[in-house]
Amino acid sequence: MSPTRIVEREGSLVSLSKPLVLCGFVGPGLAGLTAVGYVIDHLGLHEIAHLMSRHIPPSVVFIGNKIRHPFRIYADSSGKLGVLICEVPVEQSGLNDISGTILDWLQECGVREIVSLDGIPIRELPDNRPTFFVADEKKQSDFRPLGFLPAESALIAGLAGSILSESLDRKIPCSSLLVHVSITLMDPGAPLTLIRALNSAYQLNITTKELEEDEAMIHEELNEIARQYQKVQEQASPSANAGKTPENMYG
* Cα gap 157→243, rounded to integer Å: 60
Residue 12: predicted pLDDT: 85
Read off the pTM: 0.85
Q: What is the percent of the chain where pLDDT is above 90? A: 63
* Cα gap 76→139, rounded to integer Å: 24
Residue 137: predicted pLDDT: 87
Residue 38: predicted pLDDT: 92
pLDDT in tens, 115-169: 999 999 998 888 889 999 999 888 999 999 999 999 977 788 899 999 999 999 9
Number of helical (H) and strand (E) elements in the chain, helices listed first: 6, 11
89 versus 186: the higher-pLDDT residue is: 89
From the candidate CATH numbers 3.40.50.620, 3.40.50.20, 3.40.50.10900, 3.30.300.130, the one assigned to the domain spanning 4-220 = 3.40.50.10900
Query: Whole-angstrom distance between the N-terminal and C-terminal Cα of the chain?
Result: 78
Categorize the per-residue pLDDT at 50 as very low, low, confident or very high, splitting at 50, 70 and 90.
Answer: very high
Say which DSSP state 147 is in.
T
Residue 147: predicted pLDDT: 96
pLDDT in tens, 172-186: 999 999 999 998 888
Ramachandran bin of 54, using left for φ above 0, alpha for ψ from -120 to 50, beta for the remaining angles: alpha
pLDDT in tens, 5-35: 999 998 888 999 999 999 999 999 899 999 9
